[in-house]
Amino acid sequence: MNKKIISFQNKIFFSLLILFCSDFYFCQEYLKEQFSLAQNLYNREKYFDAVTELKRLQFFDREGIYDFESNKLIAECYKAGGKYSEAIRFFSYAEIYAENFDDLFDIKIEIVRANILRRTASNAIKLLNEMEKEDRWSDKINEINYWRGWAYIFEDKWDIAAFEFAKISPYHELKTLCEETHQKKYSLTFAQVASAILPGTGQFYTGNYLSGLLSLAWCGLWGYTAIDAFVEDRIFDGLAVTNLLFFRFYRGNLQNAARFVREENIRIANESLHYLQHNYKGPRP
Amino acid sequence: MKIICNIFLFLILLNNLSAQTEKEKWGKTETDYRINYHNEEIKNPEPKSYGEFFLHSVHSAYRFFISDVDGDNCPFQPSCSAFFVESVKETNIFQGSLMFFDRFTRDMNIFKKGNYPIIGGKFYDPVEQYTFTEEKNLLMPE
Amino acid sequence: MKKYFFFLLLFTSVNAQKLNNLHSPENIKLFADHLFSEKDFLRAALEYEKLPEDDSINFKIALSYQAIEKYDAALDRFAKINYESNLYHISQHQYFKTLLLSEQHDVLQRKIIISENTDYQKYLYISYLFTSDKLPGKDEFLKSFPSNEKVELSFFYEKKKNPPYKSSLTAGLLSALIPGSGKIYTGRIGDGITSFITVSLLSFLSYNNFTNDHDFRGWLFAGLGFFFYAGNIYGSAVSAEIYNSQVDYQFQKKLKEYLEQKNYFISE
């Protein structure tokens, strides 16, 4: 009787064991297939559908086997779709499930890259500075400096970017590019001071000769009229011309000097950014 | 273990609170690295009559010799000169002139903040608000 | 023993198929419900659309489309729900709510009047609050709504019946008498004072120059003064129109916020 009971108990035990293993095996297989499907959609650039399939994977993946890979791929889909805030959110989830330091470092760099593209480069710089302080990334300092250089490029601080690339190598291609860009740029302070001393010179400095001549002419005309009025004791007329006309054109001259410098500097920066986006062969955000 | 669970639960909460509501299917987007700079130069459209041609010519000459040289003084969008041109085109020279002088008076008001929505750093004050036509009487947002 | 293992394997494989095919209808439904609860409505709608149509699925799809403001698609789905279904009554309420959200007031009013169903009367009256149509008497209006909402709805009713508009004619006449007073009447105090100062100053300058025999300057300031005066009258009349538009806008905004808060009087 006892033998029969033991034999029956063994059957139940083995049945359950086989059921569990088969469930686990088939479940694993279906999850693997689902992940492959999502990857396939990602490779075919169907990012919205890929995110749907990855969310399906996450919903059915009760064990959390694919937590890291699914969150990382969802983030990459959002990044490719230009939705950087969502990308950063899912990279942050992937960071929690990273299983080794290499994966963790890669994810942190992805967050930095997404921040750069989102034009929140200051966040990227903060993250990189924090990573630099940690001992575990001491062998990856070149990569940290590289992405910090890119962050400064997007902050339009080309001189500091050149300094960061110089830390990697004094002959780094991006160091040269950043230095050249910085040298081509016009000085805002110089333009404003020049225009303050002689109206129109700030515009001449940036090559806007016609605007400079007009500024000089108007300021000259109203300045002469005001002085003439004061000399002839027409104080009210002199004050009216000075306040309503001379100062208006003088202020306009200073504004234009600054505006033309900003426009030119943006044009110079955009030329370099266009090169970096379309011609530069190295890793980009 | 308890701390990890709490962090995980907090993240789930955060996820639910900030859950995205995507309204359209989206695809690949190429982000342009270049800095967006909006050059505010306004180009007048092609004139449809001699009157419009004359108006555009005077406006262009004013912009070239005076407006572009004396700096960005108008706090409104569209600027007062552009407002005058548009109001004359929408209505007629007399009504357009009245609208322009009314705009000029409002420009001189130093306490105008709060009366207009601010878009791009300027007070948004379109011509359509002042034409009396029922369909063009836009609702002014706060 | 062999038979035992054969049946066990058969049962296992069938069980595995049933449990683990992620794209089976049962699993699609589970996933779609999860997306709906996560407020990922577009994905939820697309998942529900993979399932065979029935009333509960159509209802969920319609709610998803309503949430992402695809009102036409939502209306199509609500309309598909069977008259005999348990969800028909609630779907009709959601249908009218969708018409209100999409501001299709003429369609809503026509459908409710044709249906002659008093259950939906409240949507008709809400629609009247948005459009310029004639409202019924106050008692009849309030009868359709729950008793605890009558105070707030009375407020909206009164505001719609007697909006605090300003008259363009009055504003224009006031400004003709005293420059700037029409603008003060419509609430633009700063503009009114500026108008008054400008017209007064130019008038004074004109008078002063004429008195001192500077005729050209006198006429110049008189001309400018006239245009600023005329512009001030025009601007005052227009500012009354703008004031009235703002009154309408604020009313509609408050009404929408109130209806959102009350879920359009649809009980869950």
Q: Which residues of C fall within a CB distance of 8 Å from A50? A: none
Say which CATH number the domain at A52 has.
Answer: 1.25.40.10
In whole angstroms, what separates CA A180 from the centre of its chain? 21
Q: How far apart are CA C48 and CA C259, in angstroms?
A: 28
Taken in order C146, C147, C153, C157, the sign of the CA dihedral is: positive
Minimum distance, in Å, between the CA of residue A148 and any CA atom of chain B? 16
Q: What percent of chain B has pLDDT over 90?
A: 30
Q: List the beta strands (DSSP E) in A153-233.
A: none
Q: Does B25 touch chain A (CB under 8 A)?
A: yes
Tell me, what's the pLDDT at C17?
54
Counted domains in chain C: 3
Q: Which two tokens stand for residue B9?
A: 């639960």
User: pLDDT of C138-197, one tens digit each?
Assistant: 888 888 888 888 899 999 999 999 999 999 999 999 999 999 999 999 999 999 999 999
Instruction: Tell whether A284 is covered by a domain.
Output: no
Which residue ranges of chain A lie beneath pLDDT 50? none
Q: How far apart are CA C33 and CA C64, in angstroms?
A: 11
Q: Regarding beta strands B118-119 and B122-124, do their DSSP bridges make them parallel or antiparallel, or are they unpaired?
A: antiparallel
Interface contact flag, A249 B70, Cβ < 8 Å: yes
Q: How far apart are CA B101 and CA C230, in angstroms?
A: 8
By C-alpha distance, the chain B residue nearest C247 is B139
Using a 10 angstrom Cβ sphere, with 0-12 exposed, 13-18 middle and 19 or more buried, the burial of residue A135 is exposed
**Same domain for C123 and C81:** no
**Same domain for A168 and A109:** yes
What residues does A257 pair with on adjacent strands? none
For residues A276 and A167, the answer to whether their CB atoms sit within 8 Å is no
Interface contact flag, C235 B102, Cβ < 8 Å: yes
**Same domain for A149 and A120:** yes
Query: Residue B27 — very low, low, confident or very high, per pLDDT cuts 50/70/90?
Result: very high
Nearest CB to C227; choose among B97, B109, B139: B97
Domain that holds residue B127: 72-142
**Same domain for A58 and A124:** yes
Instruction: Tell whether B47 is covered by a domain.
Output: no
Minimum distance, in Å, between the CA of residue C195 and any CA atom of chain B? 6
**Phi and psi torsions of A189, nearest 5°:** -60, -45
Tell me, what's the pLDDT at C3?
65
Domain that holds residue A73: 2-185
Q: Which of residues 14-53 of B touch C (CB under 8 A)?
A: 16, 19-25
Interface contact flag, A211 B25, Cβ < 8 Å: no
Counted domains in chain A: 2
Instruction: Tell whether A283 is covered by a domain.
Output: no
Interface contact flag, C31 A18, Cβ < 8 Å: no
Counted domains in chain B: 1
Instruction: Tell whether C262 is covered by a domain.
Output: no
Q: Is it the case that residue B61 has pLDDT exceeding 80?
A: yes
Q: Which residues of A fall within a CB distance of 8 Å from B18? A: 89
Minimum distance, in Å, between the CA of residue B109 and any CA atom of chain C? 6
Q: Which residues of C fall within a CB distance of 8 Å from B115? A: 188, 190-191
**Same domain for C60 and C39:** yes
Nearest CB to B102; choose among C38, C42, C234: C234
**Same domain for A246 and A115:** no
For residues A148 and A130, the answer to whether their CB atoms sit within 8 Å is no
Q: Does A193 touch chain C (CB under 8 A)?
A: no
Pick the residue of B15, B33, B41, B108 with the most A CBs within 10 A to test the interface with A by mutation.
B33
For residues A112 and A151, the answer to whether their CB atoms sit within 8 Å is yes
**Same domain for A199 and A169:** no
Straight-line distance from the first to the last Cα atom of chain B, in angstroms, rounded to the nearest whole number: 50
Name the strand (E) or helix (H) holding B124: strand B122-124
**Same domain for A120 and A54:** yes
User: Chains B, C: CB contacts under 8 A, how many?
Assistant: 90
Minimum distance, in Å, between the CA of residue A99 and any CA atom of chain B? 15
The CA distances from residue A244 to A188, A222, A232, B67, B119, in Å, are 27, 10, 19, 14, 27
Tell me, what's the pLDDT at C18?
47
Cβ neighbours for B7, distance < 8 A, ≥ 6 positions apart = none
Interface contact flag, B101 C228, Cβ < 8 Å: yes
Q: How far apart are CA A7 and CA C2, in angstroms?
A: 15
Query: Residue B3 — very low, low, confident or very high, per pLDDT cuts 50/70/90?
Result: low
Instruction: Tell whether C9 is covered by a domain.
Output: yes
**Phi and psi torsions of A283, nearest 5°:** -65, 135
Q: Does A237 touch chain C (CB under 8 A)?
A: no
Taken in order C229, C233, C238, C241, the sign of the CA dihedral is: positive
**Same domain for C210 and C152:** no
For residues C89 and C55, the answer to whether their CB atoms sit within 8 Å is no
Q: How far apart are CA C120 and CA C90, in angstroms?
A: 11
Chains contacting C with at least 3 CB pairs below 8 Å? A, B
Q: Does C72 touch chain B (CB under 8 A)?
A: no
Interface contact flag, B98 C41, Cβ < 8 Å: no
Q: Which residues of C fall within a CB distance of 8 Å from A23? A: 12, 15-16, 19-20
Interface contact flag, C12 A52, Cβ < 8 Å: no
**Same domain for A213 and A161:** no
Q: How far apart are CA A211 and CA A204, in angstroms?
A: 8
DSSP conformational letter for C119 = G
Nearest CB to C16; choose among A23, A31, A52: A23
Interface contact flag, B70 A251, Cβ < 8 Å: yes
**Same domain for A212 and A101:** no
Across residues C60-70, what is the average pLDDT?
96
Q: Which of residues 32-51 of C touch B (CB under 8 A)?
A: 38-43
Q: Does A154 touch chain B (CB under 8 A)?
A: yes
Q: How far apart are CA C199 and CA C231, in angstroms?
A: 10
Domain that holds residue C131: 118-162
Nearest to A80 by CA among B21, C40, B22, B27: B27
What residues does B123 pair with on adjacent strands? B76, B118
Q: How many Cα atoms within 13 Å fall on the side-chain side of residue B54?
A: 5
Tell me, what's the pLDDT at C197?
95
- DSSP, collapsed to helix, strand or coil, labels residue B123 as strand
Q: Which residues of C fall within a CB distance of 8 Å from A30? A: 20-22
User: pLDDT of B88-135, one tens digit each?
Assistant: 998 989 999 999 999 999 999 988 777 888 888 889 999 988 987 765
Orientation of helix C150-161 relative to helix C215-261, angle to 10°: 150
Chains contacting B with at least 3 CB pairs below 8 Å? A, C
Nearest to A69 by CA among A32, A112, A43: A32
Q: Which two tokens stand for residue C225?
A: 């003064």
Q: Which of residues 198-257 of C touch A (CB under 8 A)?
A: none
Q: Does B39 touch chain A (CB under 8 A)?
A: yes
**Phi and psi torsions of C102, nearest 5°:** -90, 5
Across residues B50-68, what is the average pLDDT?
88
Q: Which residues of B fall within a CB distance of 8 Å from A214? A: 65, 68-69
Q: How far apart are CA C121 and CA A234, in angstroms?
A: 78
Q: Does B73 touch chain A (CB under 8 A)?
A: yes
**Same domain for C157 and C225:** no
By C-alpha distance, the chain B residue nearest A118 is B31
Orientation of helix B93-108 relative to helix C215-261, angle to 10°: 80
Instruction: Tell whether B140 is covered by a domain.
Output: yes
Q: Which residue has the tokens 């209806």?
A: C259
Residue type present at position B70: D
Tell me, what's the pLDDT at B137?
52
**Same domain for C91 and C9:** yes
Nearest CB to C234; choose among B16, B99, B111: B99
Q: Which two tokens stand for residue A149?
A: 């250089």
Nearest to A150 by CA among A160, A137, A139: A160
Q: Which residues of B fall within a CB distance of 8 Å from A211? A: 68-69
Q: How many CB atoms lie within 10 A of CB B128?
A: 13
Q: Does A56 touch chain C (CB under 8 A)?
A: yes
Interface contact flag, A96 B29, Cβ < 8 Å: no
**Same domain for A217 and A175:** no
- Long-range contacts, stretch B39-46, CB < 8 angstroms, 24+ apart: B39/A263, B42/B78, B42/B82, B44/B85
Tell me, what's the pLDDT at B13?
43
Q: Is it the case that residue C19 has pLDDT exceeding 50?
A: no
Taken in order B90, B95, B101, B107, the sign of the CA dihedral is: negative
Instruction: Tell whether C55 is covered by a domain.
Output: yes
User: Chains A, C: CB contacts under 8 A, how many?
Assistant: 46
Instruction: Lowest mean pLDDT of B67-71, B81-85, C130-134, name the range.
Output: C130-134
Minimum distance, in Å, between the CA of residue B86 and any CA atom of chain C? 16
**Same domain for A179 and A42:** yes
